[in-house]
Chain A
């Protein structure tokens, strides 16, 4: 079945970096874009950026420009999101979610289970 499986919870100190993985299975990896969305405790959904697994091109939300890097490994059907210079406000659940390529009106139809990142000294 189609699924996205994310890496486990992380605890990081302020100023450190975190790299979260999202492994896709059950579909053609390069046929779907992958979004990253985060949710701080008790807050709403915040879009971080998108990667095209086919060519590796990315677009990031302005808020995260310079701090976020999204990459992919087509050999393992895995995308990665790395966030640097962590601060306490980055404490959140981070989700990956796929969206069909060539389908501009499509929504994010499959989501990972979420990865909790806690930033604390």
Chain B
């Protein structure tokens, strides 16, 4: 099975900061990588699909990059509503896998 590893597990940042979260796959997954945002008590929300495509309605401050085994999610200028937990997910294999999550907290 393909394993997904995110780093860091948690991150403190301030409003206006540029933030990058990394996701690594245990084998090449081409561009079959999605990113989700989850706020407490809510269902996850799709932000980025196919590694770099912005889901409809998602602000342009969110961007994704990478292919193969290494991927990044970047938030160009943090807004108060961006403090949440972020997950990567591979869809290369039928047996889907999520990363363990990155909790983004206010500094």
Chain A residues packing against B (C-beta within 8 Å): 35, 37, 44-47, 50, 59, 61-62, 95, 97, 99, 104-109, 111-114
Contacts and interface: CB of A to CB of B under 8 A. Distances in A.
Contacts of A61: 95
Interface of B: 1, 31-32, 34, 36, 38, 43-46, 48-50, 53, 55, 87, 89, 91, 94-101
B1 A50 contact: no
Nearest to B85: A44
Nearest to B46: A107
A106 B91 CA distance: 8
A15 to B, nearest CB: 27
Nearest to A95: B43
A46 B97 CA distance: 7
A50 to B, nearest CB: 7
Contacts of A106: 49-50, 91
A114 B43 contact: yes
B43 A46 contact: no
Name, among B38, B44, B97, the residue most crowded by chain A CB atoms within 10 Å (CB to CB): B44
Contacts of A109: 46, 49, 55
Contacts of B49: 105-107, 109
B43 A45 contact: no
Contacts of A45: 36, 38, 44, 87, 89, 98, 101
A105 B91 contact: yes
Given A35-B96, A44-B87, A61-B95, A112 B46 contact: no
